């Protein structure tokens, strides 16, 4: 009887594990030189621009089941994964490849990762990189996360409608390093302020983000939302996402990530995901009829709130952009909707 129970439990666990969804990351490149990019930014602008991020996960706390002892001035502690510095990394501290080691997040939920030790190309390939995580959300197995063996940013969207929670990433499989077994992760963050490539920027002169050259001027509006002005685009980034929400009004529509902040009446600058959680609703469509968003009224030449008429969720592999730095101001318009830069 005991043998039968044990076999049944094992079989049940196996079936449950096999039924877990596998989420695949998007993006990444074979070679990426962050050190050279940072030097170029400092030379041209006097500061680093290349690794800015939306301020959507500053409240996250990270820990790990182990970490490698510091070597000279190089630290490998878990907080390296949240320092917005691609040249640092967490490195697990157990013998072997770190199979079974865990990274725990409490607070903001990440959706972007820099796999491996991205200090340099040689550091990346000489150390081991994560191939597969098993992800747990609030104590329950959620999915498997399959990473590419690629440098640069890889994005992913976990199958949950939440931006905060308790997440555990358990290392299941790795890409072995050429020299060392130590497995590393350079960065986790949350990138949520993104819109699709067909989005037009401005109110008077309209250009898609792909048509904009860095240092080109765009229309902006002051903090009081009264006076139009222009500012130069200093930086923007590109990242792939697997989920977008198409927000439509009678006159405008825009495709954005679920965490993209828009200016909603009675809510201020916030995302649809946060509103959904605040109102304890289960579907984006449940917001229709009570949700108003700020747009640019072309006839009156002023900002105004109008009803959201449609919310359509889209799944696939979408190339997205967001502006991360302007020469002045933070408010601009995309497809007629008021936007705000959420970066340091």
Q: What is the pLDDT of residues 131-161, one digit of tens each?
A: 999 999 999 999 999 999 999 888 888 988 7
Residue bearing tokens 């640069």 = 152
Q: Which pLDDT tens digit goes with each residue over 79-102? A: 999 887 889 999 999 999 999 999
Q: What is the pLDDT of residue 213?
A: 74
Classify 212 as helix, strand or coil: coil
Classify 290 as helix, strand or coil: coil
Selection from 111, 189, 120 nearest residue 143 by Cα: 111
pLDDT band at 8 (very low <50, low <70, confident <90, very high): very low
- Tell me what the mean pLDDT of segment 326-343 comes to: 88
Report residue 146 as tokens: 């399959």
- Tell me what the mean pLDDT of segment 217-232 comes to: 90
Q: Which pLDDT tens digit goes with each residue over 227-260? A: 999 998 888 877 778 889 999 999 999 999 888 8
Which one has a higher pLDDT value, 343 or 211?
211
Selection from 292, 296, 291, 290 nearest residue 337 by Cα: 296
pLDDT band at 16 (very low <50, low <70, confident <90, very high): very low
Which residues make Cβ contacts (< 8 Å) with residue 74, sequence separation at least 6? none
Q: Is 204 exposed, middle or buried (0-12, 13-18, 19+ CB in 10 A)?
A: exposed
Which residues make Cβ contacts (< 8 Å) with residue 51, sequence separation at least 6? 34, 38, 84, 85, 86
50 has pLDDT over 50: no
- Tell me what the mean pLDDT of segment 314-333 comes to: 88
Q: Which pLDDT tens digit goes with each residue over 177-196? A: 999 999 999 999 877 678 89
Q: What is the pLDDT of residue 25?
A: 92
Longest dimension (CA), the chain: 79
In contact, 157 and 242? CB cutoff 8 Å: yes
Q: Please list the residues that pair with 110 across neighbouring strands.
A: none
Reported CATH class of domain 195-340: mainly beta
54 has pLDDT over 60: no
How far apart, in whole angstroms, are the C-alpha atoms of residue 37 and residue 33? 6
Cα–Cα separations (whole angstroms), residue 96 to 180, 272, 276, 324? 9, 43, 43, 40
> Phi/psi of residue 78, each to 5°?
-60, -35
User: Does the 16-189 domain belong in CATH 3.90.550.10?
Assistant: no
CATH 2.170.16.10 residue spans of the chain: 195-340
Give kind and range of the element (H or E) at residue 42: helix 34-45
Classify 240 as helix, strand or coil: strand
CATH 2.60.120.260 residue spans of the chain: 16-189
Across 36-40, 119-123, 245-249, 307-311, least confident range? 36-40
In contact, 125 and 72? CB cutoff 8 Å: no
129 has pLDDT over 70: yes
Across 55-69, 118-132, 142-156, least confident range? 55-69
């Amino acid at each position: 009887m005991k043998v039968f129970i044990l076999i049944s439990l094992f079989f049940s666990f196996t079936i449950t594990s096999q039924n877990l969804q596998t989420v695949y990351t998007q993006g990444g490149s074979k070679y990426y030189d962050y050190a050279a990019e940072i030097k170029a930014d400092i030379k041209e602008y006097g500061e680093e621009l290349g690794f800015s991020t939306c301020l959507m996960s500053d409240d996250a706390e990270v820990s790990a089941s182990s970490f490698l002892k510091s070597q000279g001035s190089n630290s490998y502690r878990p907080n390296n994964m949240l320092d917005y510095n691609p040249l640092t990394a967490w490195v697990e501290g157990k013998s072997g490849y770190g199979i079974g080691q865990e990274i725990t997040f409490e607070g903001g939920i990440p959706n972007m990762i820099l796999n491996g030790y991205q200090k340099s190309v040689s550091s990346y390939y000489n150390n081991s990189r994560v191939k597969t995580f098993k992800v747990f959300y609030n104590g329950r197995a959620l999915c498997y996360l399959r990473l590419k063996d690629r440098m640069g940013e890889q994005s992913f969207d976990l199958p949950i409608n939440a931006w905060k929670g308790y997440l555990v990433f358990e290392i299941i499989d790795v890409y072995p390093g050429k020299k060392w077994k130590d497995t590393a992760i350079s960065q986790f963050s949350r990138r949520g302020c993104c819109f699709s490539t067909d989005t037009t920027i401005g109110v008077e002169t309209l250009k898609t983000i792909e048509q904009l050259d860095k240092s080109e001027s765009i229309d902006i509006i002051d903090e009081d939302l009264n006076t139009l002005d222009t500012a130069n685009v200093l930086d923007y980034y590109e990242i792939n996402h697997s989920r977008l929400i198409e927000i439509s009004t009678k006159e405008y529509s825009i495709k954005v990530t679920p965490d993209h902040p828009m200016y909603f009446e009675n809510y201020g600058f916030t995302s649809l995901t946060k509103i959904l959680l605040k109102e304890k609703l289960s579907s984006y469509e449940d917001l229709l009829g009570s949700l108003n968003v700020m747009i640019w009224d072309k006839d009156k030449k002023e900002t105004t709130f109008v009803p959201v008429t449609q919310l359509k969720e889209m799944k696939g592999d979408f190339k997205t952009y967001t502006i991360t730095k302007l020469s002045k101001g933070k408010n601009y318009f995309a497809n007629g909707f008021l936007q705000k830069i959420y970066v340091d």
